[in-house]
Amino acid sequence: MTQHTVAALFRRALDTVPTYQPGKQPAVVPGLTPYKLSSNELHLPPLPEILETMADVPNPAGYPDPTASALIAGLSEYLDVPTGHITVGGGASEIISALARVTTETGTETVYPWPSFELYPQTAALNGGTLKPVALTAAHEHDLTAMADAITEQTRMVLLCSPNNPTGTSIKQDNFEAFMERVPSDVLVVIDEAYWEFCTDPDALDGLAAAKAYDNVVLVRTFSKAHGLAGFRVGYAVAQPHVITALRKAILTFSVAQLSQNVALASLHQVDVIQARARSVAAARDEFVTALRSQGWEVPDAHANFVWLPLGDLAERFEDACIAQAIAVRKLTDGVRISIGAPEAMQRVVDIAGKFRDDNDPSSRTKTPAIQPY
């Protein structure tokens, strides 16, 4: 089969879809424990209640509940919204992809911040839409004024990420409300709050309240991050019933396995513990930010379970320096994202960062602070 024939098999939209670039793996270094700080995973161990639920494996010959009725009922009680305002999917990623499928086609536009979650341009382009990325501000935050300016009659969806992946900055509530005053009612606004449990910004956008207040807003959250269930692939959306009805047509039936539904519900029953653990991660994050800033690094305000270093041309060299010391971090565009992990891992990154800064700016000799156990 010729190359021309193979290309003819696929939709033209595929040519515009960015290819996902996986992060590098840490080197094997004798005497050093390797740490993966590149995927924003929760490094804390599973709760005992989760392990108990995992041990009770449903009959694999049977299909899962296609309506996820027990999990949605639990979410309904927790979120204080009717069940008709909620749906679940195989992680937040499947829900965002489904939102693109119900809004995007050739001739339509999707507006999104950049840099942000890599899935946004991938899923919008795959559905034939035109991509309209809007650069972040100098403070690495959403430029909501510019995003509103980018909306045209062809815009069908706007994606927001708060806290933003990879920069960790949050959207302010008053800025969001001003933004929504400029958004037409026939444009769907998606609020991706994958990291909301870690957010300590008192002025941050309340995505749940927005989903209740606006007919054209959908909130997307996940059990992957603070709940530590990334491997079970469970996300959920909250919106008005007409949005949920459309979403349910685009989310694959049986996409959330029964064990995943059971584990997510068990974790929801431990939400107070989950949120306390998220606060401990946030405290460790803030300590890490303080350590980096004391070395002279520019670090944006961080409100997720990771920290962003805007390194420009030095980003790949810093990533490689971490890899050489058995630490995997994530280079994205012109910076490096570092997930919060065990204290030993964070101390090693601080040590690497101090030496890296000295090697690249000898006029600024750094003093490396110690990361305290948590």
- Give the per-residue pLDDT at 345: 98
**Rounded Cα gap, residues 219 and 217, in angstroms:** 7
367 belongs to a structural domain:
no
365 belongs to a structural domain:
no
39 belongs to a structural domain:
yes
User: In sequence order, which residues have a C-beta less than 8 Å from that of residue 14 and are 6 or more positions away?
Assistant: 126
Read off the pLDDT of residues 11-20 as tens digits, 9 standing for 90 and up.
888 888 888 7
Per-residue pLDDT of the chain (374 residues; tens, 9 = 90+): 555 555 678 888 888 888 877 778 888 999 999 999 999 999 999 999 999 999 999 999 999 999 999 999 999 999 999 999 999 999 999 999 999 999 999 999 999 999 999 999 999 999 999 999 999 999 999 999 999 999 999 999 999 999 999 999 999 999 999 999 999 999 999 999 999 999 999 999 999 999 999 999 999 999 999 999 999 999 999 999 999 999 999 999 999 999 999 999 999 999 999 999 999 999 999 999 999 999 999 999 999 999 999 999 999 999 999 999 999 999 998 999 999 999 999 999 999 999 999 998 755 544 545 544 43
User: In terms of domains, do 205 and 73 share one?
Assistant: yes
User: In terms of domains, do 245 and 326 share one?
Assistant: no
369 belongs to a structural domain:
no
Boundary (domain end) residue, out of 242, 269, 296: 269
32 belongs to a structural domain:
yes
How many of the other CB atoms lie within 10 Å of CB of 232? 22
- Give the per-residue pLDDT at 373: 43
The H-or-E segment that residue 110 falls in is strand 109-114
- Give the per-residue pLDDT at 178: 98
How many of the other CB atoms lie within 10 Å of CB of 151? 18
Number of domains in the chain: 2
Read off the pLDDT of residues 107-138 as tens digits, 9 standing for 90 and up.
999 999 999 999 999 999 999 999 999 999 99
List helix spans (H) across 256-296.
Answer: 258-268, 271-294
The domain in which residue 346 lies consists of: 3-45+272-360
Q: Cβ distance 143 to 172 under 8 Å?
A: no
373 belongs to a structural domain:
no
**Rounded Cα gap, residues 321 and 329, in angstroms:** 10
- Give the per-residue pLDDT at 370: 52
**Rounded Cα gap, residues 217 and 220, in angstroms:** 10
Q: What is the CATH number of the domain that holds 350?
A: 3.90.1150.10
DSSP 310-338: --GGGHHHHHHHHHHTTEE-EEETTEEEE
Q: What is the CATH number of the domain that holds 150?
A: 3.40.640.10
User: In terms of domains, do 158 and 28 share one?
Assistant: no
User: In terms of domains, do 60 and 200 share one?
Assistant: yes
